[in-house]
């Protein structure tokens, strides 16, 4: 088994649009070690992060963060340590277009 430590995804999504940040490739498992959300704007804004198994549509049970507020010009850092299987999906949402999302971890193939 090969471990690849990497940036799993980087995204600045459109406002109020749930967007895929990362999908686990085929024949791969992933350990997501941390997620960082940076608010590049001056106003506070809400964000969401969900983890959906096997590429399924987002359900209420999938959220790990829901409408968390982040102050203007601030950064939210979380060590999450979640494991994902092939085709699992990480999705993000921003209340406006000033947030940047970064996901870090290890792909195991």
* pLDDT, tens digit only, all 109 positions of the chain: 799 999 999 999 999 999 999 999 999 999 999 999 999 999 999 999 999 999 999 999 999 999 999 999 999 999 999 999 999 999 999 999 999 999 999 999 9
Contacts of 48 (CB under 8 A, 6+ apart): 18, 63, 65, 66, 67, 68, 92, 93
Task: Kindly report the pTM of this predicted structure.
Answer: 0.96
Predicted confidence at residue 1, as pLDDT, reads: 78
């Amino acid at each position: 088994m090969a471990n690849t430590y990497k940036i799993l995804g980087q995204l600045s999504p459109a406002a109020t649009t749930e967007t895929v940040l990362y999908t686990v490739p085929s024949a791969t498992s992933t350990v997501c070690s941390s997620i960082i959300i940076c608010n590049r704007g001056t106003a506070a804004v809400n964000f969401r992060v969900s983890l959906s198994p096997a590429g399924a549509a987002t359900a209420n049970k999938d959220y790990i963060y829901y409408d968390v507020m982040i102050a203007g010009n601030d950064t939210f850092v979380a060590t999450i340590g979640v494991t994902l299987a092939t085709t699992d999906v990480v999705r993000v949402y921003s209340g406006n277009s000033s947030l940047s999302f970064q996901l870090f971890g290890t792909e195991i193939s």
